[in-house]
Structure 1
Amino acid sequence: MLKLKKLQKEQANKPVSQSVPVAYIRAKKDLQEYEEIPGISIKYDEANPMRIDLEVCPNEGLYQGGKFKFVCEVPEDYPNRAPEFKCLQKIYHPNIDLEGHVCLNILRNDWKPTLTLQLVFAGILHLFLQPNANDPLNKDAANDLSKYPAQFKRHVLNAMAGGYVGDEKFDKVVDYPDRRYL
């Protein structure tokens, strides 16, 4: 009986182990199963898969040659709620506003818990390959894309080089001088 009480006392003094949140487990699983996508690179701390740094480098289209940096925050109720992405640079894009918020259907209305981080990464890359003027966050860029494609192209290239579009100064996202950015 004395041994039993001693054992119970020892157990009572041990810290209660906390369960690992489902979101953490799912995010870690998504990242472990990630298959490389050309034009996408990710970085994250294995101890914290809830924050992911994403770099998008399109290899074709108007945004080719740019390096676009995003941070992905995985919410505590993932996969029931979509991850949140923010572009860290000010860019000229119809689906990304000047504060870096991203408009992608699978991050809003079309989100389903069966979708993975990999699929969302691919969706963000797709925004650079095929910008969508029909679902804009930057209405000026969307208007240019749909009504004035040549002007849109000039604005994209100028903005990527760190220039101005109207009164807005954009962040330089190209690493090399290229005459098409002049």
Structure 2
Amino acid sequence: MLKIWSMKQKQQQADTAAGATKKKKVTAAQLRVQKDLSELSLGSTMTLDFPSPDNILDFTLTIEPDEGLYKGGRFVFSFAINQNFPHDPPKVKCTQKIYHPNIDLDGNVCLNILREDWKPVLNLNAVIVGLQFLFLEPNASDPLNKEAAEDLKGNREGFKRNVRASMGGGVVRGQTYERVLK
């Protein structure tokens, strides 16, 4: 036992002298994210981007809906995953201002599996499918943007006009939006 210990110390000293860097430990969260990413089945309307190739816990997802009210738009979501994943859900924000009942003007997303319904058995694919579904079926009954939800409930045609105007970079209800149309 003593011999093994001294051999290990000598190896460490040799590595240090040679300028070798220590291997970074892979965390449980990184392993789970790696597994989730390998199992993703992104359609042609979605792409992932990793700003730092060494960090798989922070990335962006771009969704370009090809049907529904938000068809023709390009929406970017940032994902920040903490070391307690999958016990904690990822933090997801829309990087652009969007006129949507379930996404507020600061980019916060109202998706039940990102809050109270999150369970460790859920994966990143479930979150991505949920985000995609928000563009197909905006939910006015659980809003973050109450004005957009009221329009969706009470005046669907006005809501459609406001979505188009906002996606084109227009002003809706005093808010200026960034152009997201392709």
Give TM class, smaller chain: 0.7 to 0.9
Matches within 5 A, 1:15-164: 19-44=25-50, 45-164=52-171
Q: Deviations over 1:15-53 (max 9, x none)?
A: 876642110110111111111234221122553210111
Name the amino acid aligned to 1:65.
Answer: G
> Structure 2 regions of 5+ residues with no counterpart?
17-21
Note if 1:171 corresponds to 2:169. no
Q: How many residues align?
A: 174
C-alpha spacing 1:12/1:132, structure 2 compared with 1 (3 Å) = same
What's the TM-score once normalised by structure 1's chain length?
A: 0.87
Deviation at 1:94, TM superposition (A): 0.3
Deviation at 1:66, TM superposition (A): 0.3
Alignment partner of 2:49: what SS? Answer: strand
Q: Which moved more, 1:10-19 or 1:154-163?
A: 10-19
Tell me how large the CA RMSD over aligned residues is. Answer: 2.2
> Structure 1 regions of 5+ residues with no counterpart?
176-182
- Is the 1:40–1:125 contact (alpha carbons within 8 Å) kept by the matching residues of 2? no
Structure 1 distance, partners of 2:93, 2:8, is 50
What's the TM-score once normalised by structure 2's chain length?
A: 0.87
Deviation at 1:10, TM superposition (A): 1.3
Q: Deviations over 1:118-159 (max 9, x none)?
A: 111111010000000011100000010011111111100000
Percent identity at matched positions? 43
Alignment partner of 1:49: what SS? Answer: coil
C-alpha spacing 1:81/1:7, structure 2 compared with 1 (3 Å) = same
